[in-house]
Amino acid sequence: QVQVVQSGAEVKSPGASVKVSCKASGYTFTGFYMHWVRQAPGQGLEWMGWINPYSGGTSYAQKFQGWVTMTRDTSISTAYMELSRLTSDDTAVYYCARSQLGKVWYFDLWGRGTLVTVSS
Amino acid sequence: EIVLTQSPGTLSLSPGERATLSCRASQSVFSSFLAWYQQRPGQAPRLLIYGVFTRAAGIPDRFSGSGSGTDFTLTISRLEPEDFAVYYCQQYDASPFTFGPGTKVDIK
């Protein structure tokens, strides 16, 4: 079954970091980009960036440059998104989503999301 | 950054009716790099349409996309009960890949 499974909900204090995982199965992990998209409560979707699991190359939205890091471990077909210096504005559901290689940056497979709550 | 606006914000219709959702871009989206997603409450978004017109795998043919340049439309020909949800357009012509604010289709 083609799917991506994300790690569980997190509660963090302001100023802390969070690392969310996304494990792929049923397809060739290195054959697709992995993106991260977040959704604040009751709000729309915000694209954060992508990682190429084959090369490890990344591209981040300018808003997140300097405080998001996307990595991967090809041995376990897992992508990671780490967000640092958390504030209450970072409370959101974080999704990983797959896109095909090449300039076709639409997302055909999504994880179920990981709720990150930032609260003191 | 390409800004997408969607209208209306909420569309109240009955099952069996036709839904027409609009997405407008702040600048031209070249190469038809526009997609539509459906999000039901408590669920992840689901890809419906990519490349303006092409339905994703498993998407019923009551969903259709059209448009070019800066104006795009998602049409649901006959609403089924499971179609009441929020719909987002997304451009992938230029980074950052942006989404519209969404149109909620609810039951009248």
pLDDT tens digits for range A68-84: 999 999 999 999 999 99
Would you call A62 an interface residue with chain B, using a CB distance cutoff of 8 Å? yes
For residue B74, the model assigns a pLDDT of 98
For residue B63, the model assigns a pLDDT of 98
What gap in Å lies between CA B54 and CA B63, rounded to an integer?
10
For residue A101, pLDDT over 90 is answered with no
Q: Which residues pair with B35 in a beta bridge?
A: B90
Q: Provide the pLDDT confidence category of residue A58 given band limits of 50, 70 and 90.
A: very high
Contact A46 B102 (CB under 8 A): no
What gap in Å lies between CA B23 and CA A80, rounded to an integer?
32
Of A44, A61, A103, the CB nearest to B96: A61
- Give me the mean pLDDT over the B67-72 stretch: 96
Residues of chain A with C-beta less than 8 angstroms from the C-beta of B57: 108
For residue A111, the model assigns a pLDDT of 98
For residue A45, the model assigns a pLDDT of 98
- Interface of chain B against chain A, CB under 8 Å? 31, 33, 35, 37, 43-47, 50-51, 56-57, 88, 90, 92, 95-102
Q: Least CA distance to A114: which residue of chain B?
A: B44
Tell me whether residue A112 is exposed, middle or buried, using C-beta atoms within 10 angstroms of its C-beta: 0 to 12, 13 to 18, 19 or more: middle
For residue A103, pLDDT over 80 is answered with no
Residues of chain B with C-beta less than 8 angstroms from the C-beta of A97: 45
Cα angle, residue A62 at apex, residues A59 and A64 outer, rounded to 5°: 85
For residue B31, the model assigns a pLDDT of 80
Residues of chain A with C-beta less than 8 angstroms from the C-beta of B45: 37, 45, 95, 97, 107, 110
Nearest to A101 by CA among A12, A46, A31, A37: A31
For residue B30, the model assigns a pLDDT of 84
For residue A104, the model assigns a pLDDT of 86
How far lies B104's CA from each of A4, A72, A103, B62, in Å? 26, 35, 29, 18
For residue A67, pLDDT over 90 is answered with yes
Q: Provide the pLDDT confidence category of residue B34 given band limits of 50, 70 and 90.
A: very high
What percent of chain A is predicted at pLDDT more than 90?
97
The distance of B100 to chain A (nearest Cα, Å) reads 8
- Give me the mean pLDDT over the A85-101 stretch: 96
Q: Is A110 left (phi over 0), alpha (psi -120 to 50) or beta?
A: beta
What gap in Å lies between CA A111 and CA A99, rounded to an integer?
12
Mean pLDDT across chain A? 97
Residues of chain A with C-beta less than 8 angstroms from the C-beta of B36: none
For residue A18, the model assigns a pLDDT of 98
For residue A102, pLDDT over 90 is answered with no
- Give me the mean pLDDT over the A98-112 stretch: 92
What gap in Å lies between CA B80 and CA B106, rounded to an integer?
11
